[in-house]
Chains A and B, each alone.
Chain A
Amino acid sequence: NAGVMQNPRHLVRRRGQEARLRCSPMKGHSHVYWYRQLPEEGLKFMVYLQKENIIDESGMPKERFSAEFPKEGPSILRIQQVVRGDSAAYFCASSPNLSYEQYFGPGTRLTVT
């Protein structure tokens, strides 16, 4: 059973461009979480989704950020008009049910130049 997959692993964007981060959860997992880790800081929760539904987006910035988890395909975290402060590692985690035992992917490291 393959683990959580994220791509790309590294993404470089200029200020003002859009960033799309993809997450394929483990097989059989319908719960997906996105976390962000700024340099030298701990991970911060962003959003929790179940298939086709956003359950909790309390950690998402109000503007420019959006997330989806369609019926088919990976979960997508989208950042519009990126700024330098968006540079961070973005981690996706999945679980088969509501659980604190979440399986994390390797992360996408976004660099905004």
Chain B
Amino acid sequence: LAKTTQPISMDSYEGQEVNITCSHNNIATNDYITWYQQFPSQGPRFIIQGYKTKVTNEVASLFIPADRKSSTLSLPRVSLSDTAVYYCLVGEKNTPYGGATNKLIFGTGTLLAVQP
């Protein structure tokens, strides 16, 4: 599994767009990039997953450049309730015959603090 590097913390203000970048220089061909969000005293919550280019859902966008050595999670117009730890994870997607288990390998994440 490729190791990831994220900023330890970021600060933002309500209404701003926040971009959190994750480095994964050793990403393998079959690896996908997944982001999770965790609020204090709660379990993590899946945000988004992608392989290349851009993925968008109702919560966030994920930008992945052509070399895939990094990715950027973009949160539009954050609010106070977006204050949380954001984790970037990289790993091979399920391969029924390859023995993959899709266990999540969490790093230390990025603590996003949104100020009023």
Residues of A near any B CB (own CB < 8 A): 4, 33, 35, 41-45, 48, 55-56, 59, 89, 91, 93, 95, 97-107
- Chain A nearest CB: distance from B78 CB in Å? 22
Count residues on chain B whose CB falls below 8 Å from chain A CBs: 25
> 5 more A-B contacts (CB under 8 A) besides A98-B102, A100-B89, A103-B46?
A59-B103, A93-B104, A102-B46, A104-B44, A105-B43
Main secondary structure on B side of the interface with A: loop
What CA separation (Å) do A43 and B91 show in the bound complex? 16
**What are the residues of chain B within 8 A of A101 when measuring CB–CB?**
34, 46, 49
What CA separation (Å) do A98 and B87 show in the bound complex? 20
Residues of B near any A CB (own CB < 8 A): 32, 34, 41-46, 49, 87, 89, 91, 93-94, 96, 100-109
